Chains A and B, each alone.
Chain A
Amino acid sequence: MDEYKFVGKSSVRVDGKVKISGTAQFIDDLDFGPNLLFAEIVESKFAHAIINSIDTTEAEKIPGVVKIVTGKDFPFRFGLYMHDRYIFAQDRVRFVGEQVAAVIARDAVTAIAAAKLVKVDYTELTPVLSVQQALGDSPFLIHPDLKDYHHVPWFFPQTDSNVAHLRKVRNGNVEEAFADSDFVLDDVYTVPRYAHCALEVHGAVGLLDHSGRLTVWTASQSPHTQRHLFAEALAPLGFQHKDVRVITPFVGGGFGGKAGVSMEILGAALATKVKGNPVKILWSRAQEFYNTYQRQGVVARLKVGVKNDGTITALEHTLYWDAGAYVEYGANVVNAAGLSATGPYRIPNIKIDSYCVYTNLPPGGPYRGFGYSEFLFGLESHINELAKKIKMDPVEFRKKNAIREGDRLTYGAKMNPNGLMEAIDKVAKEIEWGKKETSSDPNKVIGKGFSLFWKAPAMPPNASSSAFLKFNEDGSLNILVSGMEIGQGYLTVLAQIAAEVLSVPVEKIRVETPDTDRNPYEWQTVASHVTWGCGNAVKQAAEDAREQIFDLIERANGKKREELYLEDECVRSKVEKDFSLPLKNFIISGIQKEDGTFRGGPIIGRGMFMPEFASALSDPETSQGGHPNVHYTVGAAAVKIEIDKQTGKVKIPKVVLAVDCGKAINPDLVNGQITGGILQGIATVLYEDMRFDDKGKLINANFSDYKIPTAMDIPDLVVPIIIEVAQPDGPYGARGMGEHTMIPAAPIIANAVEDALGIRIKSMPITAEKIALAVKNKSKN
């Protein structure tokens, strides 16, 4: 089948040469000349304290110090979904490492030295370091003014508590259904916090020039959202959106960590205090760990009922999210997870409570998977345990209950077309499900684990994308968009989509990273939505250009537009075999008539996309009535592991993941997401986790103590499987799949450990130590 010429092909990446040659510029590679200033942050030593005073006298005496800025300079509250953050701490600090002041100096060494001389006088408060503590009897309120905070209409803060948002989902009657069930299983699963660990740290450079123009260069997944939040937060200083410009070079890994606005606000704000000088702020690796978004921890209580025939009757899922000191982004993770905490299952009776809980730990936020990895660990572990109780094969049990097209989603809308069954069958076959294997080494045991997964983009209902497309004299073209290339291959995919419409090869298409002055609006590069959303915008822009081309040929050459088509960079006619007009002959210069005059002009395409069917409005008590999610991407995964019973060490001979991406615009890039995402997920279950001391200080803020996988830690074999059940409103049927590859990693390992050892581990990570101790305890009992 060769339906398309460019779509579905593994084109060489358009950002390939610039990256393998080391030419790609990241934030720290940009040159700002000798006038560049450096900022160093004065950080909170305490997780929770009142700021009594800040004394900058000694620091100001250091030669080379240009300006010292504190919270008093910026008393503005801001945030993405909820305005609960300040640029610098105001009257109190809420996590260790929070920015209290900044020293701006001529060079970085001076800034660091002077920052140490800023004296902050605190009165320590009791830190709230767990959800249990935050929700206990008369807890200390971390945000006493919560009730006054502006927030999106789909958040429901609980007054006089540490609950910033509570997402409730109700359908059917769980109590009756539990009573009618043959078996009900109740358990608690816990997941700690995790760090994104993109190899590039966060950075920003701000410049307010003497004309009043604020330009901020950032390492960001969200240039337009950043511009919007900068303009909004700094509006009291007189900025309009047109005065603010965000330029984003290549990003050295995002994974959600560079979405929204975190430290970049400092680049924007500090620039306003040193007019005429660019000011740079670059996080250290330690700051990258403790003062950007972290993946939120969760304590999840699950109660699920089943019939003896394997039908799931009811689910009660209560999720307590440790959302940290500020939840302006993280609360939407809580929201998204709450709306989808059934997993990809048909469950008639549901009761879900997803609590966004303030704690005095660093701010939680988006991380690849957006809450789904976290709840799926418990849910898919629980599914296996239920299957065991009713003596049913866990894959059969999943198939019996798996959601199908047209089934009711938690909030009442219908499930989109999907290839979940195909994914389950293909993964089961590839992992040889049901075939028991034994190790040749008596100290080792082999187990297999299976999991389904799903995820929807979590976006405001009006999150939109747009694109400009402009031709050059030789028929090559530039596409201007504002999604970010964060490694996933987005620029290449957009080039392929435009290539398909316009018959211009990918090598003749340039797509670059955005500048909000030049490139049209994009909400953010998150939610695995840009291939879908921005892909639609680019397809429309290409079609717009094509229609303009046909208009011109009709007008200038007298051809009927319905007879025209594009092929091999030429306009051709279905009725006149000899007619073939190369695009380069007229695309800028126009078409000359016999009298010497020209028709036409530079062809510029325009496209936009907004999911007009989406709505976040629903009944706050039940979540019924809206259409908050545009669609779900589903799939299945399985793993075979070998465990050394003495050391607890897990080796992975094989892992398989099938994802229904609707249409793989570039299959190699889809496979790349699977190979990379599954390893990132495996690391969260086998060894990564953020450790805090009893004062709330992160104690493993480096790569020696927070281990991420090396090339020695990879599975022996990763088998990616692409399923293609078209998304009706996707470009060429495509839907996103970037985050999904990480989501099932934890439960497949947990289920494989249980399969091998008969031990159910209910808290992540499942370290070698934890396994070895569990084996020891089991043999004792």
Chain B
Amino acid sequence: MKKEISFLLNSERRTIDVSSSEILLEVLRDRLGLNSPKCGCDRGDCGTCSVMINGKTVRSCLILAIEVEDQEVVTLEGIMQNGLTPLQESFLKHNSFQCGFCTPGVILSTTELLAKNPHPNKEEIQEAIAGNLCRCTGYSPIIDAVIDLVK
């Protein structure tokens, strides 16, 4: 059964028919063409599918599309409307990524952190990204990028 839902996606009102079983991640990727959220495990373990709903990062592989009715969804694409953010520039400077697969999720998690806590310490950064698995960097370049930005 399809249901029409309407929600704010990266500042644009979108209306789309979804079935009750469709997952937000699939809808964003396969139907709305937003590829920054990735599917790494499909069970909420890895964080590569992170998106923001009303300013909080969530795992879009665990959310039904119908749940975002009238909510505000932001993907990595949505935070770059004025170009790369200073946080992204800091990631570039510190090589805070290697293969780049986890990077959209990591940037969203750290973006959320900085919105709530503009001067996080190392432990707070570690905690903020603890739900985003990265197999390449060993995490410290990510932490360095955030610390360098807020110092």
Report the Cα distance A26→B130, complex, angstroms. 24
Q: Are A711 and B101 in contact (CB under 8 A)?
A: no
Q: Are B40 and A201 in contact (CB under 8 A)?
A: yes
Q: Are B99 and A251 in contact (CB under 8 A)?
A: yes
Q: Are A197 and B88 in contact (CB under 8 A)?
A: no
Q: Are B84 and A679 in contact (CB under 8 A)?
A: no
Q: Are A672 and B98 in contact (CB under 8 A)?
A: yes
Residues of B within 8 A of A487 (CB): 97-100, 136
Q: Are A672 and B141 in contact (CB under 8 A)?
A: yes
B35 at the A interface (CB under 8 A): yes
Report the Cα distance A675→B42, complex, angstroms. 28
Q: Are B103 and A19 in contact (CB under 8 A)?
A: yes
Q: Are A714 and B95 in contact (CB under 8 A)?
A: no
Nearest to A677 among chain B residues (CB) is B138
**A525 CB, nearest partner CB in chain B, Å:** 12
Interface stretch (choices B1-9, B43-51, B52-60, B66-74): B43-51
Interface stretch (choices A125-133, A385-393, A557-565, A702-710): A702-710
Q: Are B39 and A28 in contact (CB under 8 A)?
A: yes
If A711-B126, A711-B139 touch, whether A252 touches B88 (CB-CB below 8 Å) is no
User: When the two chains form the complex, which single residue of B38, B76, B139, B143 contacts A26, counting CB atoms closer than 8 Å?
Assistant: B38
**A16 CB, nearest partner CB in chain B, Å:** 5
Report the Cα distance A196→B96, complex, angstroms. 20
Nearest to A16 among chain B residues (CB) is B92
Q: Are A675 and B103 in contact (CB under 8 A)?
A: no
Q: Are B35 and A250 in contact (CB under 8 A)?
A: no
**B107 CB, nearest partner CB in chain A, Å:** 7
Q: Are A25 and B143 in contact (CB under 8 A)?
A: no
Q: Are A26 and B127 in contact (CB under 8 A)?
A: no
Q: Are B100 and A24 in contact (CB under 8 A)?
A: yes
A668-697 CB mask vs B (1 if < 8 Å, else 0) is 110010011111100000000000000000
If A487-B100, A710-B130, A711-B143 touch, whether A20 touches B84 (CB-CB below 8 Å) is yes
Nearest to A672 among chain B residues (CB) is B95
A486 at the B interface (CB under 8 A): yes
**B142 CB, nearest partner CB in chain A, Å:** 7
**B42 CB, nearest partner CB in chain A, Å:** 6
**A740 CB, nearest partner CB in chain B, Å:** 15
Interface centre among B95, B96, B101, B135 (most CB of A within 10 A): B135
B149 at the A interface (CB under 8 A): no
B41 at the A interface (CB under 8 A): yes
Q: Are A711 and B142 in contact (CB under 8 A)?
A: yes
**A560 CB, nearest partner CB in chain B, Å:** 43
Q: Are A675 and B98 in contact (CB under 8 A)?
A: no
Nearest to B48 among chain A residues (CB) is A199
Q: Are B138 and A678 in contact (CB under 8 A)?
A: yes
A635 at the B interface (CB under 8 A): no
If A12-B92, A199-B46, A703-B41 touch, whether A22 touches B76 (CB-CB below 8 Å) is yes
Residues of B within 8 A of A668 (CB): 95
Q: Are B135 and A680 in contact (CB under 8 A)?
A: yes
Binding site secondary structure of chain A: loop
A192-207 CB mask vs B (1 if < 8 Å, else 0) is 0000111111000000
If A676-B136, A711-B143 touch, whether A28 touches B38 (CB-CB below 8 Å) is yes
Residues of A within 8 A of B101 (CB): 26, 198-200, 252-253
Residues of B within 8 A of A22 (CB): 35-36, 75-77, 103-104, 107
B121-141 CB mask vs A (1 if < 8 Å, else 0) is 000011101111111111111
**A478 CB, nearest partner CB in chain B, Å:** 21
A15 at the B interface (CB under 8 A): yes
A552 at the B interface (CB under 8 A): no
Q: Are B98 and A20 in contact (CB under 8 A)?
A: no
A718 at the B interface (CB under 8 A): yes
**B112 CB, nearest partner CB in chain A, Å:** 15
**A448 CB, nearest partner CB in chain B, Å:** 20
Interface centre among B38, B80, B84 (most CB of A within 10 A): B38
Interface centre among A17, A284, A487 (most CB of B within 10 A): A487
Residues of A within 8 A of B76 (CB): 21-22
Q: Are A250 and B99 in contact (CB under 8 A)?
A: yes
Tally the A-B contacts, defined by beta carbons under 8 Å.
156
Residues of A within 8 A of B126 (CB): 711-712, 714
Residues of B within 8 A of A672 (CB): 95, 98, 137, 141
Q: Are A21 and B84 in contact (CB under 8 A)?
A: yes
Report the Cα distance A382→B31, complex, angstroms. 57
Residues of A within 8 A of B80 (CB): 21
A29 at the B interface (CB under 8 A): yes
**A32 CB, nearest partner CB in chain B, Å:** 12
A3-34 CB mask vs B (1 if < 8 Å, else 0) is 00000000011011111111111101100000
A648-669 CB mask vs B (1 if < 8 Å, else 0) is 0000000000000000000011
Q: Are B38 and A679 in contact (CB under 8 A)?
A: no
Interface centre among B76, B104, B134 (most CB of A within 10 A): B134
Residues of A within 8 A of B29 (CB): 28-29
B24 at the A interface (CB under 8 A): no
Residues of A within 8 A of B41 (CB): 285, 702-703
A223 at the B interface (CB under 8 A): no
If A252-B100, A669-B95, A703-B45 touch, whether A676 touches B137 (CB-CB below 8 Å) is yes
Residues of B within 8 A of A488 (CB): 98
Nearest to A673 among chain B residues (CB) is B98
B77-92 CB mask vs A (1 if < 8 Å, else 0) is 1001000100010011
**B29 CB, nearest partner CB in chain A, Å:** 8
Report the Cα distance A449→B12, complex, angstroms. 56
B93 at the A interface (CB under 8 A): yes
Nearest to B34 among chain A residues (CB) is A22
B102 at the A interface (CB under 8 A): yes
Report the Cα distance A612→B77, complex, angstroms. 48
Q: Are B42 and A285 in contact (CB under 8 A)?
A: yes
Residues of A within 8 A of B139 (CB): 679, 709-711, 714
Q: Are B138 and A198 in contact (CB under 8 A)?
A: no
User: When the two chains form the complex, which single residue of A679, A703, A711, A714 contacts B46, counting CB atoms closer than 8 Å?
Assistant: A703
Q: Are B99 and A252 in contact (CB under 8 A)?
A: yes
Q: Are B143 and A12 in contact (CB under 8 A)?
A: no
Residues of B within 8 A of A196 (CB): 135
Nearest to A703 among chain B residues (CB) is B45
Report the Cα distance A615→B17, complex, angstroms. 63
Interface centre among B48, B101, B130 (most CB of A within 10 A): B101
Q: Are A675 and B84 in contact (CB under 8 A)?
A: no
If A702-B41, A710-B130 touch, whether A679 touches B138 (CB-CB below 8 Å) is yes
Residues of B within 8 A of A201 (CB): 39-40
Report the Cα distance A17→B100, complex, angstroms. 10
Report the Cα distance A18→B101, complex, angstroms. 11
Residues of B within 8 A of A747 (CB): none
Q: Are B45 and A20 in contact (CB under 8 A)?
A: no
Q: Are A712 and B136 in contact (CB under 8 A)?
A: no
Interface centre among B95, B100, B129, B140 (most CB of A within 10 A): B100
Q: Are B138 and A714 in contact (CB under 8 A)?
A: yes
If A22-B104, A200-B40 touch, whether A676 touches B95 (CB-CB below 8 Å) is no
List which A156-209 residues lie within 8 A (CB) of chain B: 196-201
B111-126 CB mask vs A (1 if < 8 Å, else 0) is 0000000000000011
Residues of A within 8 A of B45 (CB): 285, 702-704
Q: Which residues of A contact B (CB under 8 A)?
A: 12-13, 15-26, 28-29, 196-201, 250-255, 284-285, 486-489, 668-669, 672, 675-680, 702-704, 708-712, 714, 718
Give 3 nearest A-B pairs by CB, closest first: A252-B101, A22-B36, A487-B98
What are 15 of the A-B contact pairs (CB < 8 Å)? A19-B97, A19-B100, A22-B104, A196-B135, A199-B133, A487-B97, A487-B136, A489-B95, A489-B98, A675-B137, A679-B139, A680-B135, A710-B139, A712-B126, A714-B138
Q: Which residues of B contact A (CB under 8 A)?
A: 29, 35-36, 38-43, 45-46, 48, 75-77, 80, 84, 88, 91-93, 95-104, 107, 125-127, 129-143
With A16-B97, A676-B98 known, 15 other A-B pairs at CB within 8 A are: A16-B95, A20-B88, A21-B80, A22-B77, A22-B103, A26-B38, A200-B99, A253-B101, A255-B135, A284-B42, A489-B95, A676-B137, A679-B138, A703-B43, A710-B130
